[in-house]
Chain A
Amino acid sequence: MKLINVLIFTIVIFFGIASFLKLSLMESFIFGLTIILLIQGMLACLAMLYSFLKPENLQEVLPPRILYGGGYFRYSLIVPAKNEEAVIRDTIKAMAKINYPKHLYEVLVVVRNDDLGTIKAVEKEISSLAFAMTDRQEAMTDKVNIRLVKIDGVIANKAYSLNMGWRCAQGDIIAVFDAEDEPHPDILKSVDEIFLQKKVDIVQAGVQLINVSSNWFSCLNCLEYYFWFKSILPFMSKLGATPLGGNTVFFKRKVLVKIRGWDENCLTEDADIGIRASAAGFKTSMIYVEEMATLEEAPADEWQFIRQRTRWDQGYLQIILKGDWLKLGNLKHQFLSFYLLIQPIIHQFSILGMLSIPLISLGLKVPLWLAMFSWLPFYFLLIQFGLYFIGLADLKKYYRLTFSPLLFIYLFIFFVPYQLILAFSSLRAGFRLFLGVFNWEKTEHFNIHRTVVTQ
């Protein structure tokens, strides 16, 4: 209710100012839209720059110094998988190599009964690992508990798989990983320290898409992830919003018990659970350092990408309509959560707006001051270009990527088409929601990220 009052008040003030300035309807529209774009641009740039504003900000998301030595909590790493035979074996291998007492963590690969290909791949890898262990005659305590959890049921989405998985889990901390993930060997040690030192209930660690040159949009996709996990999530977390990603996220068991796990009707179960956990009073901490980020791959083609984004956008719209974010503590948290949820949907429209509003002003006969004013949001677009440029250089450095220097130019050439494809996904999400279509459009994985990073 308070939020609506604030909205109404803002609209009244705006119309007051428009009347004072004697603006026509079209001029008021341009004026209002420019103000919105200015605010949006400013917040977006601030969020993207937050971790770089001062050295202390970056320090906040670095893994803590090891005080307790790791090995305190027991972890259950849940890996929902569907048609992932191409990637699941490598993922399981990577999980088995995690540098943490083997008796203190387990891996549960959750697969539907009818997904025979994935089941076969998982069983093969589990037995291969067991054979390798036996062959080396290692102690039983050094053997990782990797289990295949077969499920069935009407609902076929990630949230359902996670719920099935965590109910079989034995750990104190329930973690979520995707089927194509390449987690860092020291991830559990670092997360363990955070739980002990900061006394939080949820830890979100970093994820990074890494195949920057697979296709025309993958570079921009990877950069989105880079700034999202490195700066935007820490920024929102600092303000009190509780953004969560879909993997490399760790929950204390009591959190899942209290909020009753993931919402099986929601397409973005990660964002939803973050909102509900925050509304229930649970605290979240972020951790990000490039070397420790879980590596993933950007979708292989445009249609895969559109389906993925449609699913995410539709999920965010579902969460907004559900209204759990209105149960958050105060107006500030409610607004921040709403802003965070609406961002993936409006961000690309705002960028397109920053490009088109000045052109509209040029075409129409608006007062000179209004025409100049309408160009101001373009400044934030330039900042974002600059940030993407630096981000690409950072990714190249941290992950020792090799790609053509022309990629820096393609970044700018394909920026607008990328926003258009995102905008199309948002519109598609809106239509699907309107039509009541909620099926899970799964993204295929091809292990591209594992071939990209040079050792």
Chain B
Amino acid sequence: MFIKKLLRYKYFLPWLVFFIAIIPRLINLFGYPYLENDEGAYTSQAWWMVNFGKLAPYTYWYDHAPFGWLTIGFWQKLTAGPLTFGLSLYSTRIFMTLVAGLTNLLIYQLIVYLTKNKKIAFLSCLIYSLSALAITYQRRVLLDNLETFWLMLSLWYFFKAKNRLNFIWLSAIFFGLAFLSKESIVFLLPVMLYGIWLTVSKENRRFSLMIWLVTSLFLILLFPLLAFLKKEFFPASWFGSQSHVSFLETVFYQMGRGTEFKPWQEESSFFINVVSWFKKDFLLLAFGVWSIVVNILLNWKDKNNRIIVLLSLFFLIFLARGGLVLQFYILPLLPLLILNIALTLSLGEKRFKKQIDWLLSLPRFSLVVILLGIAFISEDIAIYTAQPAKKQVEAVVFVKNNLKTDDFIVIDDFCFSDLRLAKGENKAFTNAEWFWKVEQDKEIREDKLANDWRNIDYILLSGEMRRKLLSGELPFLRQAFDNAVLIKDFPSDDLHEGGEVIDLGREGDGWQALFKVEKEAGFEKIISQ
């Protein structure tokens, strides 16, 4: 009786949906996955933007539009700084968790609107909440999480528009913000336009298309406008001007990354990641892909269904385009798969109403929820138990307690803010620099280090840094590393990822090691294997 009363309360299910997304992400939030480079980059860029008025601590090179880390920066300002919860990434991971909760809420509302069935919506959101892929990457401080949130908000207004121009306009704004968080969303633009053409009545169609296109394009073009205003749009070589970063050069560079192999080749990043994704979360991906097929074959005539399917397919095209694919690129696709699953369930409910209603009656529904929960949680229990980030934190603490504040330390970006910002008795290491910028940024390498590796005092080696050193991508740093001795090793206790034992030093674990650079020749180096 009490449960029935509770279910009748208008906001009970939405709140429940919000918390079932938050709770799995909060458990072991600071332990798993390991603290990654990009997380540190966005965290530091956010704080530098809102606190120091700069686009980034280093030369901003137009890798992404800065709106994503501006959003993160607002959170940092709201919570009295990046170090309020301890490590800087702790704060921003909490923010990402909240974003995940809101995204889940939006998915729920959208499914209720599309299917008119709260149980199907709840089940779908439960799947999303417990998805190992979703949990892993939504814990991380990634622009893709923000992109996904804005995309869901855009779709919410899009589907609810019903010929109302103001909703179409809002949909365009949020789509534009999604792009300004992460550019990959642009692959969905044709589908959105097609969707407007499909769903809006003839009288309002042209206005809707115009408003949506002009609004979203205007927001999208703010990114190149930023470069244009900073006189960094064109490459310096085109006009013989002083060397500077260039928007166009970055665009060409990004488009060319990872194009050595075709997407169907086993060496391609797409292929490698597809295998990895299915290993991590087989249930969601298999069910999701199956739903897409079912929706195409059995429900293509339904306009909303068609749009959801096309959005999913177009995003798959982005992933399989033949360029670089990183593991977390799948993030925006996950809610689209969930939407497909929901539409398939809804279709099934219409065709097998008696059977589905029997299955979804309250006692059996609870059983379904429990079984689903067990199935998804057991897919990758390590996300709740493994703690590869623990040793990373230990390494940072060791540096703070043992090294001098003016030592030049080459670090992984995850701890940039923690070492560079002072808080209370917490010292600031003003010469802690991200390894990638030490290698590439003129201001660091030439101005600060005078192009001499001997000016480096320490290297806080991470798995990713080591991999790049060994692959030859960091020749300048390699010289320092070859002349460095191990001070302290921080091997991760959890050398597991998904239950497999992996090689120490392989990218993907939380291993850290502190090396001191010997300035004189004739030393022996010891590198732990």
Contacts and interface: CB of A to CB of B under 8 A. Distances in A.
Given A371-B229, A379-B215, A55 B206 contact: no
B226 A372 contact: yes
Interface residues on B, range: 10 to 19
A432 B215 CA distance: 41
A54 B163 contact: yes
A177 B482 CA distance: 93
A55 B214 contact: no
A393 B206 contact: yes
Query: Which of B164, B214, B222: most chain A CB closer than 10 A?
Result: B214
B218 A386 contact: no
B210 interface: yes
B211 interface: yes
A424 interface: no
B164 A54 contact: yes
B164 A53 contact: yes
B421 interface: no
B493 to A, nearest CB: 46
B227 to A, nearest CB: 11
A52 to B, nearest CB: 5
B166 A53 contact: yes
B351 interface: no
Interface string B109-128: 00000000000000000000
A49 interface: yes
Contacts of A52: 165, 204, 207
Contact of A382 (B218, B226, B229, B230): B218
Contacts of A378: 218
A371 B227 CA distance: 12
B425 interface: no
A53 B210 contact: no
A138 B350 CA distance: 68
Interface in B129-175: 163-166
Interface string B204-243: 1011001100110010001001100110000000000000
A55 B229 contact: no
B165 A53 contact: yes
A390 B202 CA distance: 13
A59 B225 CA distance: 41
A58 B229 CA distance: 42
A154 interface: no
Contacts of A375: 222, 225
A21 to B, nearest CB: 11
A49 B226 contact: no
Given A49-B207, A371-B229, A375-B225, 7 more contacts: A52-B207, A55-B163, A362-B229, A372-B226, A379-B214, A379-B215, A386-B214
Interface of A: 49, 52-55, 58, 361-362, 368, 371-372, 375, 378-379, 382-383, 386-387, 389-390, 393
Interface of B: 163-166, 201, 203-204, 206-207, 210-211, 214-215, 218, 222, 225-226, 229-230
7 contacts: A52-B165, A53-B165, A55-B201, A382-B214, A383-B215, A386-B214, A387-B207
Nearest 8 pairs between A and B by C-beta? A386-B210, A53-B165, A52-B207, A54-B164, A379-B218, A371-B229, A390-B206, A382-B214
